[in-house]
Amino acid sequence: MFRKESDNTGTLAHVLRTNRDQVVRLAAADPVALWEGAKSNMSDYNLVAKLYYYHQPLTSPLWPWLATNGDYILHLLRRNLFDAYISREIASRYNLWQIPNIDDISHLSFRITVNESDAALYIEQKLNEIRQIRSIFARKEKYFEIFFEDIIHTPIACAAAVEHIYEERSTFRSKYAGEFRNRRIKSAPNSTIVANYADVAHLDCTHVN
């Protein structure tokens, strides 16, 4: 909801009883007012905002405000940032950013050549963003970290952990226990996807703990 062209701009305009242009202006000029207004007008709901690093500059007043108010912060991280880079490259090169049904592309296999310098720069940029966000929320009691790899391998346990954080019970575990499938676009190892893997294998490792 905080990026320039949010998918939810129309919904937010309805919630805030304003127009789409005003929502876009608020997201850019006063993201704190945008969030507080949405929470105030939807006080009967547990409102959740998905916020990527690039949705707001690190100089935005939203970050220190979130660090000092009562909202929960769940920071989703990747241990292997090269893996994240490969996923991004596949989505970009094969135009797979929005796939309604993963089963529709389950038959596809991917093969890409990676620019080593570009991949290394991406990893360093993400590491810097992670360091800065961790620093901002270092003193926040309601700050938690969840790793993408854990969600993929143990989704039910991760759901239980989130329930514990929010001190709430949901129907997720009972509904999906035993039924969850790995629905990633990229399921093959990087070594079989990257044509020049030998040149970039040193980047395919754990970067974040």
- Write out the E strands in the chain: 73-77, 143-147
CB 79 within 8 A of CB 208: yes
53 DSSP assignment: G
- Start-to-end CA distance of the chain, whole Å, equals 28
| CB proximity list for 65: less than 8 A, separation 6 or greater | 32
Phi, psi of 166 (to 5 degrees): -85, -5
The full DSSP string for 98-115 is --S-GGGGTT----B---
CB 83 within 8 A of CB 147: no
What is the per-residue pLDDT for 101? 63
**CA distances, 182 to each of 153, 158, 188 (Å):** 8, 14, 12
> Given a cut of 80, is residue 11 above it in pLDDT?
yes
- Tell me the pLDDT tens digit for each residue of 130-148: 999 999 999 999 999 999 9
In terms of C-beta density within 10 A (0-12 exposed, 13-18 middle, 19 or more buried), how is residue 66 classed?
buried
- Tell me the pLDDT tens digit for each residue of 42-63: 888 878 888 888 888 888 999 9
The percent of the chain in helix, strand and coil, each rounded to the nearest 5, is: 55, 5, 40
Reported confidence tier of residue 117, pLDDT bands at 50, 70, 90: very high
> Given a cut of 90, is residue 102 above it in pLDDT?
no
- Tell me the pLDDT tens digit for each residue of 59-96: 899 999 999 987 899 999 999 999 999 999 998 998 88
More confident residue, 157 or 99: 157
